[in-house]
Amino acid sequence: MLRWLAKRIIAAALVVFVVTSLVFVVTHVFTDPATVSLPLEASQEDRASRRAALGLDRPLSVQYWDFLSGLVVGDLGESFFQTQPASKLVFERLPATLRLVAGATAVTVLMGAPMGMLAAWWERRFADHAVLGFSMASISAPPFWIGYLLIIVIAAQLRWVPTFGSSGFKSLILPSFAIGLASAGRLAQMTRRGIVEELRKPYAVTAMSRGFSRSYTIVHHTFRNVASGFVTMTGWEVTRMFTGYTVVIEVVFSWPGVGRLAVDAIFDRDLILVQAAVVVLATMVVLTNLLVDIARRLIDPRVDLA
């Protein structure tokens, strides 16, 4: 187990290394932070002096080494626009993004799992069709639009919760649903499919033929077998949140998270800060995948130890 864990951690670190290197290639080989920060009509001298100021006139290998050694100690460079360390800016915003992801994950699991179980319980009956309808609708609607609909109906018309910003628990509700509904829809379908599949296996058929009810069999026999897939899918949804949904939803709800920081930085032409935000979000994805692997291993000992 420990050897397996060590291997997984090394593999995860390797992925972070490759991803950050790719980011470096884009931000330093194809272009550079100085060019991006200046307007297109800037003169050659301006460019040269800006490059010198940012240390971009040094050989690429030196810059790459600087970048990597900075990464190890958590130094992600200096934000050009805000003249502060980029890592400080990103890590200040990270808790807000984590809160949002936690809220959305709660919505996903608390809605997705029961709906999937209900649909499997009443397979090909009304509940099943209703859950399928919900899933199709929720995965088809763009999350940012769901966000605005929630703002229009629940915040602006009914005035139950604040429209924008992040003040306390109440303001977390709408963004969490905006992100979580689509994930819940996918998770419900996956759970349903998993349970239905298990129910056709001999052990479940045996259990039911011995007189256990369908619901008892679902809860006591199939659930453990579905759990591993369930955790994998939930983890996958969390990575989706880190890499897409939060960015868009933070913009919709003016949520002070890493995603909005990155989008703002793009319009400030602050390449270093965008780079820092992307590196941190990609690391979150890799960490999530690692945690999912560990959780799967704990739930299901059959998971391959390779």
Q: Which two tokens stand for residue 127?
A: 């509940």
Take residue 294 and report the two structure tokens written for it. Answer: 């560990």
Sign of CA dihedral 181, 247, 164, 144: negative
Of 71, 195, 204, 247, the one binding another protein (CB under 8 A) is 247
Q: Is residue 145 involved in binding another protein (CB under 8 A)?
A: yes
Q: Of residues 122-141, which lie at the interface with another protein (CB under 8 A)?
A: 122-125, 136-137, 139-141
89 vs 271 by CB, closer to another protein: 271
Contact flag: residue 214 with another protein (CB under 8 A):
yes
Q: Give min distance, CB of 153 to another protein, in A.
A: 9
Q: Is the dihedral of CA 219, 225, 231, 234 positive or negative?
A: negative
Dihedral sign for Cα 190, 15, 88, 276, please. Answer: negative
Residue 6 is a binding residue for another protein (CB under 8 A): no
Residue in 79, 53, 56 with CA at minimum distance from that of residue 66 = 56
Q: Which of 27, 97, 222, 234 touches another protein (CB under 8 A)?
A: 27
281 binds another protein (CB under 8 A): yes
DSSP assigned state of 40: T
Asked if residue 222 lies in contact with residue 198, where contact means CB atoms within 8 angstroms, the answer is yes
Report in angstroms how near the CB of residue 6 gets to another protein at its nearest.
Answer: 18
Residue partners of 215: CB distance under 8 A and separation at least 6: 121
* Binding flag, residue 243, another protein (CB under 8 A): yes
Closest listed residue to residue 232, CA positions, set 180, 186, 282:
186
Binding residues among 172-201 for another protein as defined by CB under 8 A: 190, 193, 197, 200
CB of 22 to another protein, least distance (A): 7
For 54-120, give the secondary structure using H, E and C.
CCCCCCHHHHHHHHHHHHHCCCCCEECCCCEEHHHHHHHHHHHHHHHHHHHHHHHHHHHHHHHHHHH
Part in contact with another protein (CB under 8 A); list of ranges 72-80, 99-107, 218-226, 259-267: 259-267
Q: Which tokens sit at 134?
A: 């919900």
CB of 251 to another protein, least distance (A): 6
Among 117, 187, 226, 277, binds another protein (CB under 8 A): 277
- Binding residues for another protein, rule: CB under 8 A, are 15, 18-19, 22-23, 26-27, 30-31, 36, 122-125, 136-137, 139-145, 148-149, 151-152, 155-156, 163, 190, 193, 197, 200, 214, 239-240, 243-244, 247-248, 251-252, 262-263, 265-267, 269, 271, 274-275, 277-278, 281-282, 285-286, 289
